[in-house]
């Protein structure tokens, strides 16, 4: 059975293209539907802040939506991921597959929530992703998990406070900046 799954995974690698958002999870190819406006807005606002901060402080690489990460059995395209410089400095211009990120952000949608909270949560945890944020754009809530030894610990579940990253040293923003463009602009100016 695992040999058949591996064969499907190799076929998946040969068939995927940059035009589609697709993942390989537990032997199945999962094609994602287009994102809703609030999902896309939250992803872009947060990615802009992370990218600007990371570049200003030369901390690493921020990838958004189409970065394929390879884990032992599964391949994911997180909404946002961050790689510290020790990994990012080895990336190549035409690279298509990436190692385990230091921070992953998934923005919930009805079709992905069970995977984001289930198989992905367990996979990210067991593969040593230092920090995992789950964002509910509909309710404007962020959950922040930090890897403590081998398990995620819930650090924050909020819509109103400030969030400070463990993986992106010094990155601290108001949660509102993820959902509101005016708050995002203020946070940009503070970076």
Sheet strand arrangement including 28-31: 28-31, 22-25, 75-76, 68-70, 97-98
Residue 153: the pLDDT is: 98
Considering only CA atoms, which of 59, 52, 60 is closest in space to residue 187? 52
Residue 85: the pLDDT is: 97
Q: According to DSSP H, which parts of 35-118 are helical?
A: 37-56, 85-88, 113-117
Return averaged pLDDT per consecutive 10 residues of the chain, 191 residues in all.
82 79 86 82 97 97 92 95 97 94 96 94 98 97 97 97 97 97 96 89
10 Å Cβ neighbour count for 139? 10
**pTM of structure:** 0.92
Question: Domains, the chain, ranges and CATH?
Answer: 34-190 (3.90.1570.10)
Residue 26: the pLDDT is: 87
10 Å Cβ neighbour count for 148? 10
Report the distance separating Cα 103 and Cα 108, nearest Å. 16
Would you give the distance in Å from CA 94 to the centre of its chain? 20
């Amino acid at each position: 059975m695992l040999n058949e799954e591996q064969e499907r995974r190799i076929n998946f690698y040969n068939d995927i293209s940059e035009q589609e958002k697709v993942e390989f999870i537990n032997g199945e190819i999962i094609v994602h539907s287009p994102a809703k406006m609030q999902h896309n807005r939250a992803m872009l606002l947060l990615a802009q802040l992370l990218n600007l901060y990371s570049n200003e402080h030369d901390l690493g690489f921020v990838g958004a939506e189409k970065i394929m990460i390879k884990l032992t059995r599964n391949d994911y395209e997180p909404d946002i991921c961050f790689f510290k410089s020790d990994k990012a400095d080895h990336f190549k211009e035409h690279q298509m597959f990436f190692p385990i990120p230091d921070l992953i952000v998934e923005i919930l949608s009805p079709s992905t929530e069970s995977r984001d909270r289930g198989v992905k949560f367990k996979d990210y945890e067991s593969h040593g992703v230092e920090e995992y944020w789950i964002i509910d754009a509909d309710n404007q809530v962020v959950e922040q998990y930090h890897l403590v030894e081998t398990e995620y610990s819930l650090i924050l579940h909020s819509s109103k406070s400030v969030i400070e990253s463990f993986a992106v040293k010094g990155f601290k923003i108001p949660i509102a900046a993820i959902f509101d463009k005016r708050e995002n602009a203020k946070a940009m100016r503070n970076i």
